[in-house]
Amino acid sequence: MVRLCVVGMGHVGVVTASCFAGLGYSVTGVDKDHDKLMLLSQGKPPFFEPGLSELLRGGIDKDLLFFTEDFDEAIKASEVIFICVGTPSLEDGSVDLTQVEEVARGIAANLNDYKLIVGKSTVPVGTAKKIKQTIKLINGDNCPDFDVSSNPEFLKEGSAVNDFLFPDRVVLGVDSKRAEIILKDLYRDFDCPVLTTDIATSEIIKYASNAFLAMKISYINLVADMCDKVGANVHHVADGMGYDRRINREFLSAGAGYGGSCFPKDVKAFTSLAADLGINVSLLREVDRINEKRICLIVKRLEDTLWVCKDKKISVLGMAFKCNTDDVRESPALKLISKLADKGCQICCYDPKAMSNVRAQLNGLYELISFAESPYEAARGADALVFMTDWPEFGKLDFLKIKELMRSPIIVDGRGMLHAHDLEETGFLYQGLGLGGRLSCQ
């Protein structure tokens, strides 16, 4: 059976390595971060992802999953190498490919036999070509046989294991029969369409998919603004639209907007790529602009109710960029906190899973911030509660108790996840986004 190597033990890398080990392959995970590798070797994922620790431990116990800092040895011992390193944004929105380039050079120096190099990191069109060119240049005339291909990931944090094992599709971007055969064989047991394309098409599919999903979210947020003006309910509008199978209800949840390590970065990168190609990018720019505006709307909701926010205690419930993850990268909640801090608010925050990441991000950054151990502690003495992540447990809170703990019973629902009517019955002043400018108190 072919030996796999996964370079980069971030979210995509760890899930890819663990899932392939779960399918019976021998996999080596490589990273430079010693502490992360120690955790992984003990079967502990360095982040929260449902179902991952079981797979990780299973792979280690069966001697199928190994972790190492020894990049050279891992490359030499493997036939298929997945590149899963980070591709962060540069100031101008384009992609920083430093890590991908470094891996390509490292592979070039360890090309002892045929290798299939597979790009999983989200990269601009042409990256696979650059990897190939770099490896050839370094090895000169005696370059051993190798192929470079693109196999984009479509993993959502919070359901990444399930998305890996039961994907909607697998995309294989290849330019040689040998690469196609190896990759098709790796995915032979997957019960989904396997689309084989040229490499540029595969690289575009990834960006086009993420930008399209982000566009759906910004579109429904635009509709939410309209609903606010005319007294309509955006969630019902989304239901009405979503029953149309061509539209589909998924990614039509209006609210605080999209965050995370993918959509904000990928929309900007796709825009930058299109602009470089001389394509009019106003549609993509608007997706980003609408998303940025969502936080201002939440601040406005607070000002509409509290009047002056300065010195008020505002508690933010939900810090992760979405539920089922402890990831706070580009989290709308963090953006809100920065705006509230500028206004001189006292801020208290709580998240069921992300508090250690929140502390790492915020400790010492703002004077007036505190961290709560529970939603009830956050509610104590608060002038307003803002819900920023759609954690299911927030819907089950004892809102009567919350109301008693708060100084004034104001709720801003940034995710449209609570029952406005029930909260109003309990005596809250409930504010949502796209709910007809709801501002009423029983």
Residues belonging to the active site: 262
If one asks whether residue 13 binds ligand UGA (CB under 6 A), the answer comes out as no
Instruction: Say whether residue 324 binds ligand UGA (CB under 6 A).
Output: no
Which residue matches tokens 């040998």? 178
Contacts of 29 (CB under 8 A, 6+ apart): 5, 6, 9, 13, 14, 17, 37, 40, 65, 66, 67, 68
User: CA-CA distance, 356 to 225, in Å (whole number)?
Assistant: 34
Nearer to ligand UGA, 321 or 430 (CB): 321
What b-and-e string marks burial along 266-304, b requiring 16 or more CB atoms within 10 Å of the CB? bbbbbbbbbbeeeeebeebeebbebbeebbebbbebbee
Which residue blocks in 231-281 are alpha helix, DSSP H?
Answer: 234-242, 263-276
- Shortest CB 149 distance to ligand UGA, Å: 18
95 or 429: whose CB is closer to ligand UGA?
95
Q: Name which of 109 and 195 has its Cβ closer to ligand UGA.
A: 195
Do 120 and 151 contact (CB within 8 A), yes or no? yes
Expressed in angstroms, the distance from the first to the final Cα of the chain is 67
Stretch that binds ligand UGA, among 32-40, 80-88, 150-158, 340-348 (CB under 6 A): 150-158
Rounded least distance, CB 153 to ligand UGA, Å: 5
- Token output for 183: 């990759």
Shortest Cβ 157–ligand UGA spacing (Å): 4
Task: Report how many residues bind ligand UGA under the rule CB under 6 A.
Answer: 21
In the window 339-398, what residues touch ligand UGA (CB under 6 A)? none
Q: Which residues inside 73-92 make contact with ligand UGA, applying CB under 6 A?
A: none
Question: How many other CB atoms are there within 10 angstroms of residue 399's CB atom?
Answer: 21
Among positions 167, 255, 409, 414, the unique one binding ligand UGA when judged by CB under 6 A: 255
Nearer residue to ligand UGA within complex by CB, 219 or 376: 219
Q: What count of other Cβ atoms lies within 10 Å of the Cβ of residue 57? A: 16
Query: Contact region for ligand UGA (CB under 6 A) — 49-57, 72-80, 255-263, 341-349?
Result: 255-263
Q: State whether residue 299 is helix, strand or coil.
A: helix
Cβ distance to ligand UGA smaller for residue 122 or 357 = 122
Smallest gap from residue 146 Cβ to ligand UGA (A): 26
In degrees, to the nearest 5, what angle opens at C-alpha 282 toward C-alphas 279 and 284? 90
User: Which residues are paired to 371 by β-bridges?
Assistant: 349
Residue 213 or 379 with smaller CB distance to ligand UGA: 213
262 binds ligand UGA (CB under 6 A): yes
Is 316 near ligand UGA (CB under 6 A)? no
CA distance 97 to 407: 50
Q: Can you tell me which of 258, 270, 387, 399 binds ligand UGA, judged by CB under 6 A?
A: 258
Pick 48 or 146: Cβ nearer ligand UGA: 48
Radius of gyration, alpha carbons of the chain: 24
Q: How far is CA 139 from CA 125, 130, 261, in A?
A: 24, 14, 35
Smallest gap from residue 281 Cβ to ligand UGA (A): 19
* Neighbouring residues of 439: CB distance < 8 A, sequence distance ≥ 6: 304, 305, 429, 431
| The one among 82, 321, 394, 428 contacting ligand UGA by CB under 6 A | 321
Rule CB under 6 A: which of 151-190 touch ligand UGA? 153-157
Write down the least CB distance from residue 416 to ligand UGA, Å: 9
Residue of the chain from 10, 45, 173, 259 that contacts ligand UGA (CB under 6 A): 259
Residue with tokens 């089950």: 396
Chain-centre distance of CA 185, in angstroms? 29
| Strand partners of residue 89 | 95
Which 194-253 positions form the footprint of ligand UGA (CB under 6 A)? Answer: 210, 213, 217, 251-253
- Position 413 contacts ligand UGA (CB under 6 A): no
Binding mask 98-127 toward ligand UGA (x if CB under 6 A, else -) reads ------------------------x-----
Q: Which is nearer to ligand UGA, 258 or 399 (CB)?
A: 258
Which among 64-72, 126-134, 223-231, 257-265 is the span making contact with ligand UGA, rule CB under 6 A? 257-265
Determine, following the binding rule CB under 6 A, whether residue 71 of this chain makes contact with ligand UGA: no
d(CA 382, CA 375): 11
The length of the chain, given as a count of residues = 442
Choice between 321 and 371, CB closer to ligand UGA: 321
Residues that bind ligand UGA (CB under 6 A): 122, 153-157, 210, 213, 217, 251-253, 255, 257-260, 262-263, 321-322
